Amino acid sequence: METSTPPETKFTVVKRSRRVVCLVLDVSGSMSGVRMLRQQQAASLFLRTIIEDQSLVGIVTFSHTAQSLRPLTLIDGEAARETLVNSLPSTASGGTDICAGLAKGFEVLRKDNGDTTGDEIIFLTDGESEVNCLEEVVQSSAVVQTVALGPSPAAVLKTMSEISGGKYFVASESLDSNELVDVFASLTASDGDITLQTIQLESSGKKTNGNGWFVNVVSVDKTVGNDTTFFVIYENNPPNIMVKSPTGTFYDGSKFKHDTTAKTLSLEIPGTAETGDWEYSLHNTMTSPQSLSMTVTSRAARADVAPITVKAHMSQQSSDGSKPMAVFAEVNQKGVPVTLADVWATIVSSNGDKEELRLLDNGAGPDIKRNDGIYSRYFTNLKDGKHNLKVRVKGQGDKARVNRGQSRAMYLPGYVIDGELKLNPPKPTFSGNDPQVDVGNFSRTAIGESFIICLPPGVSPPKFPPSKITDLTAKIEEDLVILNWTAPGEDLDQGTATAYEIRMSEDFEPLRTNFSDAQLINSSGLPPQEAGSMESFSFILDNITMNSRTVLFFAVKAEDKQYLKSDVSNIVQVSKIEPLAESEGMNVLTIVLCVTGIIVTISILAGIIIYFKKKRFSYSFKTTACSTTNE
C-alpha cells in the first residue's frame, strides 16, 4: 500500500503595519448643493481628527469617470491633514460610475506596496449604477466601507461591504440628525491601539429658532482628554459660540478655526482637557431658523489607561418581520464592563420616523446577563425601509461603575529562578465589599451599521407576545411563597402586559412540557407593571402541608391584549428546611465529650498495639542475632 506525504502546510501571518485608506467620493450631478457640502464637512472631520497618525490617506473622486485628487499621504502632522482637507472636492457634475471610482481607488492603494490586501476604501455615493464590479472587490482583498447618502442608495453597496468585511451605512443630508458626520466619526481603525484612536463623546443637532439657543453638556472623564475637539457645523450663518470648562475657563468663537467654505468651526483644547462637565452654547443670531450641530471627540489621556468605549449593533442587519429585532450596546473599558450607565438608542427610518429606546443591563428580555456591560432592548416597531442606529451613553455622579471583578486564581507573591526570588506585583486590593470602581461623569456616542426591514407586501407589521421571563426567583417563609421577576411588556419588553399566569407543580417536568395542566395560582390581584419594573407576588399555600421532603416548582407566563402569551419562564423550586430537633437528654457538650472520649480511647488502643508490635520485633531481632553468633 502506497502512502503519500501530505503537502506542507504554510501559514502567512498578515499584519498591517499602518492604516492605508482611500476616500472614494461621489461628485456626480446629483451630489450638488447640500449633499456636496455635507460630504465635505464629514470628510474634513475625518481627516482632521479621526484618522490616526502615521496612516496613509488618498482621495479619489468619481462621476462618469474617476480621478485621483490626492495620492497616498502620510499623516505626520497638522500640515498633512490640512493638505488633504484642502484637496476635498466642492463641485459636482456628470453621471455616476461606481466601478470607475472603485478601480481608481484600488489603483491609489497599490502605490504604497503594489498590493491592496488589508487596505481600506471609504466609498460614498448617492446614486445607482448598473455596472457590477463585486468580483473586483473580492479579488482586491481590501475592506470597503460603504456610505449611502440620501433616500435611494445603490442596492449593491450593502453587498459590497458584506463581501469585503466592511460596514454599511445610510445617511441623510439633514444637519439636525448629524448622521453623515457620525458615520465618518465611527470609521476608526478596527485592530489598532485603542489609546491612539479617536473617541466620540458627543453628537447632537438641532433646528434653532431665530435668536434661539442650542445648549448642552458633555462630560470628559479621566480616561480621555487628549486632542479634545469641539466641531460645529452651521446651515447658513456662523453662530455665537461659548464653551465653558469645568473650572470656569471660557472659549468663545474667536478661539475656533472657521472654514467658511465648509461652514464649520473647530476648537482643539490644548494639552489634556479638564476632567468634568463641559458646557457649550450656540446662539443663532439670525432672525430665521437654522440647523446647528455639535460633535465632540477626544483621545485617551494616558497610553497605559484604555478609554471607555461603546459598540452598538442590531441583532440582525436585515429583517422580514418574522422574528423580533434587538438593539445591543457594549460599554466597557478594555473588556471590563461598565455598569449602571444611562444608555439610550435612537432608531431613525429613511422616511424620518424616530424611536427612542432606553437600553437595560438587567438580565431580562434580550439581555442575557445582568451587569455585564451589555445593554439591550427589543425593537418592535418594524416598518419598511432603511434604518439607522445611534446610541448615547451617560455616566452621572457615582452611579456608573467599572466592574473589574476579582480573579479566582490563587495569588502567588513571587517565584524562584536559579535560586533567586522574583517578586510579583502586589495583589490588587479593592475598597468596599465589591471590586467596583466609580468612573464619574462620562459621555459617549456611537452608531451601528444601518439595517433594512422589508415586510411582505400587504402584511401588517407583526405583533409579538410578551418576552419570556428569565429571572424568576422564589423563596418560602413559613407557609408564604414569594416570587420575584422583571416585568415583560405588551410586545416583548415594550409597554405593559395584561396579565400573568402562575402555575405550580410538585414535579419539574409538567411545567416544562404541559404548563397549562399544572396547578394554577390565583394572581388576579397582581396587575402587571411597565416593562422593566420589578414584580413581587406572595401567596399562602392552600391544601399543601410542607415538610422537609416537600419540593415545589413554579413558572410564569405573561399575556397581552391580543391573548398572546410568552414562553414559559425559567422554572424555580422551593423547599422547606425543617430545623433539627434537639434529642432529649442530649446537648452539644455531651456530644463533644462523647466524641472526645472515643478519640482518646482509639488513640490509647493504637498506642498499645504499636508498643507490643515493636517489642515483638525487637525480641525477634535479638533471637536471630544470637543464632547467627552461635553458628
Most confident among 111-120, 182-191, 398-407 (mean pLDDT): 111-120
User: 123: helix, coil or strand?
Assistant: strand
Assigned domain for 330 exists: yes
pLDDT at 619: 41
Q: What is the pLDDT of residues 555-595, one digit of tens each?
A: 999 999 999 999 999 999 998 766 555 544 455 555 656 55
Q: What is the pLDDT of residues 202-247, one digit of tens each?
A: 999 999 999 999 999 999 999 999 999 999 999 999 999 999 999 9
pLDDT at 128: 72
Assigned domain for 384 exists: yes
Contacts of 126 (CB under 8 A, 6+ apart): 26, 28, 30, 31, 35, 148, 149, 150, 152, 153
Q: Please state the pTM of the whole predicted model.
A: 0.82
Percent of the chain with pLDDT over 90: 71
Percent of the chain with pLDDT over 70: 82
The CATH number of the domain where 323 resides is what? 2.60.40.1940
Read off the pLDDT of each residue in 464-479 and give the average, rounded to a whole number: 92
Residue type, 316: Q
Q: How many CB atoms are located within 10 Å of the residue 516 CB?
A: 10
Assigned domain for 6 exists: no
pLDDT at 599: 67
Cell of 534: 420589578
One domain, residues 223 and 125 = no
Return the higher-pLDDT residue of 334 and 445. 445
One domain, residues 346 and 441 = yes
One domain, residues 399 and 443 = yes
For residue 515, give the DSSP letter: G
Q: Which of 524, 554, 575 is the last residue of a domain?
A: 575
- The domain of 251 spans 193-303
Residue 192 confidence class, pLDDT cut points 50, 70, 90: confident
Residue 122 confidence class, pLDDT cut points 50, 70, 90: very high
- 511, 505 in Cβ contact below 8 A? yes
Residue 477 confidence class, pLDDT cut points 50, 70, 90: confident
Read off the pLDDT of each residue in 164-188 and give the average, rounded to a whole number: 95
pLDDT at 610: 60
Please tell me the distance from the alpha carbon of residue 393 to that of residue 350, in angstroms, as a whole number.
Answer: 24
Most confident among 282-286, 431-435, 606-610 (mean pLDDT): 282-286
Torsion sign, CA atoms 88, 93, 95, 100: negative
Strands 20-26 and 56-62: parallel
One domain, residues 272 and 326 = no
- The number of folded domains in the chain is 4
Q: What is the pLDDT of residues 111-121, one digit of tens each?
A: 999 999 999 99
The CATH number of the domain where 105 resides is what? 3.40.50.410
Residue 413 confidence class, pLDDT cut points 50, 70, 90: low
Please tell me the distance from the alpha carbon of residue 161 to that of residue 167, in angstroms, as a whole number.
Answer: 5
pLDDT at 575: 84
Please tell me the distance from the alpha carbon of residue 163 to that of residue 138, in angstroms, as a whole number.
Answer: 7
pLDDT at 425: 54
Q: Can you say whether residue 162 is alpha, beta or left, with left for phi > 0 and alpha for psi between -120 and 50 degrees?
A: alpha
Residue 317 has pLDDT above 90, yes or no: yes
Q: Which of 259, 287, 303 is the last residue of a domain?
A: 303
One domain, residues 328 and 442 = yes
Torsion sign, CA atoms 189, 194, 197, 200: positive
Cell of 87: 484637496
Assigned domain for 167 exists: yes
Residue 171 has pLDDT above 60, yes or no: yes
Assigned domain for 466 exists: no
One domain, residues 442 and 495 = no
Return the higher-pLDDT residue of 427 and 510. 510
Read off the pLDDT of each residue in 86-106 and give the average, rounded to a whole number: 95
Return the higher-pLDDT residue of 7 and 595. 7
Q: What are the residues facing 147 on neighbouring strands?
A: 124, 169
Assigned domain for 332 exists: yes
Return the higher-pLDDT residue of 431 and 605. 605
pLDDT at 605: 64
- 143, 165 in Cβ contact below 8 A? yes
One domain, residues 117 and 232 = no
One domain, residues 21 and 160 = yes
One domain, residues 139 and 212 = no
One domain, residues 261 and 366 = no
Q: What is the pLDDT of residues 250-280, one digit of tens each?
A: 999 999 999 999 999 999 999 999 999 999 9
Mean per-residue pLDDT of the chain: 87
pLDDT at 596: 63
The CATH number of the domain where 241 resides is what? 2.60.120.380
Assigned domain for 187 exists: no
Residue 43 confidence class, pLDDT cut points 50, 70, 90: very high
Assigned domain for 595 exists: no
Residue type, 400: A
One domain, residues 25 and 166 = yes
Strands 120-125 and 143-149: parallel
User: 114: helix, coil or strand?
Assistant: coil
Read off the pLDDT of each residue in 458-465 and give the average, rounded to a whole number: 87
pLDDT at 252: 97
Q: For residue 205, what are the CA distances in angstroms to 61, 160, 202, 215, 284?
A: 28, 30, 10, 11, 13
Residue 327 has pLDDT above 60, yes or no: yes
One domain, residues 93 and 25 = yes
